[in-house]
Amino acid sequence: TAIEEGVRRLGMLILKLTLFLTLFVLAAHIAAGRPAMESFLFAVALAVGLTPELLPMVMTVTLARGAVRMATRQVIVKRLSAIHDLGAMDVLCVDKTGTLTEARITLQGHVDVEGTGSLRTLELARLNSAFQAGLRSPMDEALLAAAPHEPTDWRCLSEIPFDFQRRSLSVLVARGRDKLLIAKGAPESILSRTVAVEQDGASRPLNEEWRNRIEALQANYAKDGFRLLAIAIRSVPEGQNKIELADERDLTLIGFCIFADPPKRDAAEAVAELSSLGIRLKIISGDHPAVVAHVAAAVGMPSSRAITGTEIDQLADRALAAKVDGIDLFTRIDPDQKRRIVHALRLRGHVVGFLGDGVNDAPAIHAAHVGLSVSGATEVARAAADIILLAQNLSVLAAGVREGRRTLANILKYVRMGTSSNFGNMLSMALASVVLPFLPLLPLQILLNNLLYDLSEIGIPFDEVDPEETAEPHDWDIAGILRFALVMGAVSSLFDAATFFVLLKFFNTDAALFQTGWFLESIATQILVIF
């Protein structure tokens, strides 16, 4: 996760500083003829003194506090570290249906291949939906709502379930001695297996002219945001009672069912709010490119830069990573392609979130830095998610993002203060130990100093943050932390040097008095940094 990557980089930074100082002190002391065991214990104490021991506690309390605050904003956190990832997120991938649209899919019409209203198209679609054994989609529910009564004179003999590669579902139904394979699915999927169209009750070959007419019909509906479901049939020999994938061929296209799923009223406002927070949205959908572009334009997102699943299949992972930044809409995408898109964005250095609610979204939810789902999602999607939204809209997510950034800002406060103060103190001790005839602080005093300073920082998880800290995504800026530690550590060492001068010049202290005096000054100046 993003927080694990950040903590690991911080750990490597502290390790390098620790090795540098301890090796420097050991080498200087041994060269000056100091006792080896005393020098070794002092070097070990320096190493411990550089370690921000309270970091696990500060992180856990800060994240837990953030989880409680987010719960009041209808955002439930399943994995604490996901709060940090949510705050650091700069790209959010969303499914169109239910996130940007109402997810109330309604049947708007049913037409034949010429675009004329057709009851036959509706009846065949109803039969397919009524007899399918698997999970029914919102389109199926809309079809069955138009026909509340179960078909009585037909019976189902066999089924080829839906899958995301074929994007279609077929059933074999029988009435008397008549047997019929009825297929429904994405228009391009059904058309790839179609050899004829039905016109005025007669079958016509699917030639180039018909293909052009059908594509124009699809485009006309898609540009207005309507989704199409193609319906096709095939006669089956009398003795055949089971169908397989090989039977899903030589189909005759009957027509299309037309569905509407309008954008949410507050979707445009929520998209604008997330954009103002520095989060770039990308739509990943299984729908037709024109339908996705229509919804994107309606909610104020760029709609011209798009790519289809077919084009993605032709790209290797690194080629996809090279293109993914410049694309806003991903259309006709299957579950594995969703995962590949998320992985490509991660390769580009983005902290990626994915919001989905279907079974097919689970691989991408799991692959993202922060997986998001909603309370009404499928059990598989909720299980894969790190964060659950109790309200199915993006405005709730914006509040969670702000809380995540507040949490990260407080963690980084501790990191900056702890590393700079510890580095300054240890630098002063390392330099002083070389020139003084005694140790500037005893090992026990070093550890006590560190403990008392850490205790004074336990209020950080409950601190407020400046508005600019929540205005845009932040991640672990290790170079910035190092600069802060070096500059502030060096400034604190100047105060230490002044203290050394006063203690030695004006008080003419011995070892015990020097160690006591500097211990008190060190604690006072460190705690002053907090305020």
How far is CA 106 from each of CA 148, 320, 449, rounded to the nearest angstrom? 15, 35, 68
DSSP symbol at 117: B
Burial letters 424-460, b for 16+ CB under 10 A, else e: bbbbbbbbbbbeeeebbbbbebbeebbeebbebbeeb
Cα-flanking dihedrals φ and ψ of residue 202, to 5°? -115, 150
| Nearest partner of 365 among 342, 333, 332, 349, judged by Cα | 342
| In contact, 96 and 287? CB cutoff 8 Å | yes
d(CA 122, CA 144): 10
Burial letters 494-525, b for 16+ CB under 10 A, else e: ebbeebbeebeeeeebeeeebbebbbebbbeb
d(CA 524, CA 517): 11
| In contact, 290 and 222? CB cutoff 8 Å | yes
d(CA 357, CA 370): 14
- The beta strands (E) that lie in 278-360 are given as 280-284, 306-308, 329-331, 352-355
d(CA 69, CA 62): 11
Cα-flanking dihedrals φ and ψ of residue 119, to 5°? -70, -30
d(CA 272, CA 300): 7
Q: What would the two tokens of residue 301 be?
A: 């997102």
Cα-flanking dihedrals φ and ψ of residue 466, to 5°? -70, 150
Catalytic residue of the set 85, 90, 95, 112? 95
| Nearest partner of 427 among 478, 480, 489, 483, judged by Cα | 489
Whether 477 sits among the annotated catalytic residues: the reply is no
Residue 183: helix, strand or coil by DSSP?
A: strand
Calculate the CA 483 to chain-centre distance.
Answer: 30
Residue 50: CA count within 13 A, CB half-sphere: 28
d(CA 339, CA 362): 9
Q: Which residues are catalytic?
A: 95
